[in-house]
Amino acid sequence: MKLVVVSAGLSVPSSTRLLADRLAAAVDRRTPVETEVVELRDLAVEIAHNFTNGFAGKALAAAQDAVAGADGLIVVTPVFSASYSGLFKSFFDVLDKDALAGKPVLIAATGGTGRHSLVLEHALRPLFAYLRAVVVPTGVYAASEDWGAEGLAERIERAADELAALLPLSAARREPEVVPFAEQLAALER
């Protein structure tokens, strides 16, 4: 199964990427996955060019294909002005309109204060509902004070459980049905 992690962190090192990595590791402990990370900061110029010329550059096209071909996603954004970052939103704006339909998604965000934790419910969940993704019930928000504190590890584990439970269903939906040759012949003879 293929898991794609979309991280919109801008700094190096990034607490957004750290949260993304912890979520991916927790999912992998439950069900082995092939994980690919898409760092949006590396795609910023190509995303902007896609808006102005309508064409995805090589790296952006590879990221779009990875997301479209994934069995599930983990998406993590820093909070800017009480919402997801513009880079995060721009990436999802340049995806094919059906790329996330029926795809399980774990939403997460990082911020400097716990006062922005509702960004999960007021910005991310509606965005992915609009894109027809299946958003797991538990979103994970990590404020600066959450790192090393009680509660964050438990939220990560609960969200990973929920995403891991949906991955096999998504993978089965993508697998083509194999019809044995004898059944194909019998169908032709009818």
Q: Print pLDDT tens along the chain (190 aa).
A: 999 999 999 988 899 999 999 999 999 999 999 999 999 999 999 999 999 999 999 999 999 999 999 999 999 999 998 899 999 999 999 999 999 999 999 999 999 988 899 999 999 999 999 999 999 999 999 999 999 888 999 999 999 999 999 998 766 666 555 556 566 556 666 6
CA distance 105 to 109: 13
Please state at what angle helix 152-174 crosses helix 15-30, rounded to 10 degrees.
Answer: 60
Which pLDDT does position 188 carry in this prediction?
A: 63
Which pLDDT does position 168 carry in this prediction?
A: 85
What count of other Cβ atoms lies within 10 Å of the Cβ of residue 130?
10
Which pLDDT does position 148 carry in this prediction?
A: 86
What count of other Cβ atoms lies within 10 Å of the Cβ of residue 54?
8
